[in-house]
Structure formats: structure tokens, C-alpha cells
């Protein structure tokens, strides 16, 4: 990258300081390229320097409204003090300050981690639906007005990128493929078990997986992650809960080893607006983590996911609402260990060659270089 492109600042009022996409992927890649990288967060854990990244904490606010008003302003004030060349924003609530930064003749990038209008309509359930629909419409208008004035936009999945390109032609796709330093071939003998590591919520159809287990004999479900309390209680009342090995949240560096103990990884995301209904998204890392772990995938037959699974021959796609199809897929993989091993190896090879952060890092660095 150019020598004068050295001062970069990432801004977030929502994400954690060690967010995988922001810290471990984008910021570390920029440090490696020779940039001076700074990250403003709002978690109350203080300032620090880690992996060459200067982290500044503006303090944590209690409550969503206070964060959106007070915290975002604090993030902006800190951004002005730092006086960087490029500002990379990661949260929609920071958009009002993107134009203020532009007025200071700064280069501004907005990174849309999700399709925000869809997210407002489908996931903000604490707001009545008709109001959500209206708020989504207002956000679209507001977003369009601001984003067309920024220097570049980034998003994670083809459908979001295409929508944003209609607003700002300088939009690129940078997906959440895993950072792969080393591929360790899975040589363990997999248990008669399936696994999931991530958010334990209705979106991931865990109760349907339990229903599928009722059609199978002696299959264990290894489950790790943060659980929504009400949903977890519902699952614990299920007769199949006795077959669940729930370990709670585990450190990120232990996830792959956790996955390797199972015959297959489950990624049964529901057909909801948030992920484009039957289209799916590449913004979620679950598919690629199972591939990296070297185990077959049983996943939703989204258009985007099915294309990868069938091309790489690394798993089985099913209708996540059909417990018989889920059960049949689990039974096939467990009953055909040699075929399952082939799927796992194929998935690992695909991650090593194509579906890894190194491919996305090139896009990120090229974007920064073109903006300098």
C-alpha cells in the first residue's frame, strides 16, 4: 500500500473490541499492510494496544437510546481528536457522523454487516410490526441520502452489495470467510454426534434438530454458545434434551476442536427476511467454520449455501422445517463414515484454497489503496 496511507481509524459503538470481522480480520490486515491502525470502541474496558492496533474506549452506556445518542457522539469526538486519514464505520447509528467527517475532508467508508432495512423489519420484535415496517422505510430513505456521499461501502453478501451499489457505485463485497493460518486434518474418530457452536436462538432451528433426534437412535447433540434464556428453557423441557451436551459459551480458540469431535456440523438457519428468505447470506461464518474443522455440514438449502455445498461436495442441504429430511441427513453421514470423511477433507481444501480471509484481505487492501 502507499506510504502516505498510514492513519486508519475504525469506529464502532456496538461491537466488542475483539470483534472477529473488525479487529481480527480487517484491523490486523491493515496493520500487516503497513498502516497505523486505530480502533474506537465503547465497552468500558479502557484503552490498550494489542497486535499493533491502538484501541480507545469511550466508555459503556446503559440502555439502547443512551448509547445511540451519547455514546455515538463520544465516538465521533474521539475520532476528531485522533485526526486520521481514513475512517471506517461499522454501525448504522454512526451514520450521522459520517457526513460530519466528510465535511472535515476525511475519507469515509461504511461497512454494512447486515441488511439493515430487513433487520429492522424482521428482528426488532420489541417494536410493533407496522411501526417496524415504517421505520424500515424511513431508514432506507435516510441511508440512501447519506451513503451516496461516502467514499466507499462494504458489505458481506451479494444481495446486500447489489442493493448498496444502486446507492453508491463504489461498493465491494468482503465476506466473513475464516482467517486460516493452518489447516489441521481432522484425524479423530467422530462420535455418533452432531454439533453446533454459536447463537442458540429460534433462528437456528434447534427445536427442529431435537425433533429430528427423536427419529434416530443414540445420536448426541453437542451444543455450545450463548443461549437466549427463554428459548433455552423451552429446549430444556423437550424430551430430547437428555441427548444434548450443552457446554455454554467456549473460547474462540477452542471452537474448532469442539466441532472436530462430531460427525457433522448443523447450520439450519430458518427462511427469514433477515437472511433473504431462500437466498441466504455469506455474512455468517458457520458453514466455513465447519469446513475448516474438517467435518461435513448439514445446512439449510439456501441458494447461496447450496451452490457451495454441491460444488465442494462437503455436506447435505435440507429444508430446515422438515424434521424427516434433517434426520435422514444425519443418519446418512453417521452411517457412511468414509463418505463423511471425504466431505470433511473436501471442505477443508475449499477453505484453504478459496473460502478464507486471505482472499478478502486482498479486496480490502485494494479498496484502501484506491481511496488514498
Q: Identify the pLDDT of residue 313.
A: 97
How many C-beta atoms lie closer than 10 Å to residue 112's C-beta? 24
Residue 5 has pLDDT above 60, yes or no: no
Measured distance CA(107)–CA(370) in Å, rounded: 11
φ, ψ for residue 120, nearest 5 deg = -60, -45
Task: Give the tens place of pLDDT for each residue, 118-169.
Answer: 888 876 666 787 888 898 899 899 999 999 999 999 999 999 999 999 999 9
Q: Is 125 in a helix, a strand, or coil? A: coil
Q: Model confidence at 110, in pLDDT bands (50, 70, 90)?
A: very high
Mean pLDDT of the chain: 92
Report residue 100 as a C-alpha cell: 460530519
What is this structure's pTM?
A: 0.87
Show Cβ contacts of residue 359 under 8 Å, excluding neighbours closer than 6 positions: 177
DSSP state of 178: -
CA distances from 111 to 5, 133, 155, 201 (A): 19, 23, 6, 25
Q: Please name every residue paired with 49 in a beta bridge, in sequence order, or none if there are none.
A: 54
State residue 234's pLDDT score. Answer: 95
Which cell numbers in the block locate residue 21? 470481522
Judge: domain 7-113+148-176+357-371, CATH 3.30.200.20: no
- 340 φ, ψ to 5°? -65, -40
- DSSP string across 41-92: E-SSS--EEETTEEEEE--PPSSHHHIIIIIHHHHHHHHHHHT-SEEEE--G
Q: State how far the Cα of 59 lies from the Cα of 99, in Å rounded to an integer.
A: 23
Candidates 3.30.465.10, 1.10.260.40, 3.40.50.720, 3.40.50.2000; correct CATH number of 193-353?
3.40.50.2000
Q: How far apart are CA 223 and CA 231, in angstroms?
A: 14
**Range 308-314 average pLDDT:** 97
In the chain, CATH 3.40.50.2000 sits at 7-113+148-176+357-371, 193-353
**Is 82's pLDDT higher than 90?**
yes
Render pLDDT for 157-169 as a digit per residue (tens, 0 to 9). Answer: 999 999 999 999 9
Amino acid at each position: 500500500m502507499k506510504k502516505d496511507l498510514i492513519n486508519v481509524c475504525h469506529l464502532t459503538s456496538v461491537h466488542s473490541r475483539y470483534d472477529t470481522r473488525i479487529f481480527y480480520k480487517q484491523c490486523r490486515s491493515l496493520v500487516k499492510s503497513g498502516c497505523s491502525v486505530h480502533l474506537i470502541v465503547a465497552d468500558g474496558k479502557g484503552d490498550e494496544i494489542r497486535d499493533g492496533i491502538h484501541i480507545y474506549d469511550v466508555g459503556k452506556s446503559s440502555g439502547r437510546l443512551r448509547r445511540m445518542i451519547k455514546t455515538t457522539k463520544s465516538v465521533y469526538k474521539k475520532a476528531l481528536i485522533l485526526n486520521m486519514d481514513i475512517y471506517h464505520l461499522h454501525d448504522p447509528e454512526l451514520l450521522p457522523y459520517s457526513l460530519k467527517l466528510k465535511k472535515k475532508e476525511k475519507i469515509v467508508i461504511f461497512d454494512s454487516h447486515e441488511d439493515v432495512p430487513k433487520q429492522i423489519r424482521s428482528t426488532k420484535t420489541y417494536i410493533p410490526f407496522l411501526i417496524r415496517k415504517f421505520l424500515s422505510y424511513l431508514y432506507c430513505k435516510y441511508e440512501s441520502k447519506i451513503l451516496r456521499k461516502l467514499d466507499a461501502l462494504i458489505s458481506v453478501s451479494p444481495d446486500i452489495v447489489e442493493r448498496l451499489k444502486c446507492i453508491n457505485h463504489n461498493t465491494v463485497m468482503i465476506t466473513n470467510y475464516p482467517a486460516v493460518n493452518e489447516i489441521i486434518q481432522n484425524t479423530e474418530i467422530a462420535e455418533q454426534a452432531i454439533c453446533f457452536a454459536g447463537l442458540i436462538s429460534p433462528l437456528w432451528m434447534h427445536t427442529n434438530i431435537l425433533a429430528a433426534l427423536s427419529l434416530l437412535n443414540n445420536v448426541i447433540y453437542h451444543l455450545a454458545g450463548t443461549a437466549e434464556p427463554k428459548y433455552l428453557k423451552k429446549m430444556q423441557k423437550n424430551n430430547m434434551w437428555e441427548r444434548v451436551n450443552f457446554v455454554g459459551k467456549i473460547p474462540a480458540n477452542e471452537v474448532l476442536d469442539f466441532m472436530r469431535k462430531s460427525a457433522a456440523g448443523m447450520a439450519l438457519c430458518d427462511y427469514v427476511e433477515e437472511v433473504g428468505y431462500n437466498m441466504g447470506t455469506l455474512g455468517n461464518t458457520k458453514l466455513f467454520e465447519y469446513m475448516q474443522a474438517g467435518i461435513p455440514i448439514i445446512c439449510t438449502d439456501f441458494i447461496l449455501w447450496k451452490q457451495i455445498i454441491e460444488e465442494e461436495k462437503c455436506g447435505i442441504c435440507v429444508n430446515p422445517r422438515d424434521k424427516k429430511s434433517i434426520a435422514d441427513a444425519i443418519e446418512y453421514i453417521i452411517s457412511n463414515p468414509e463418505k463423511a470423511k471425504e466431505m470433511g477433507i473436501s471442505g477443508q481444501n475449499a477453505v484453504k484454497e478459496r473460502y478464507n480471509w486471505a482472499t478478502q484481505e486482498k479486496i480490502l487492501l485494494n479498496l484502501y489503496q484506491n481511496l488514498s
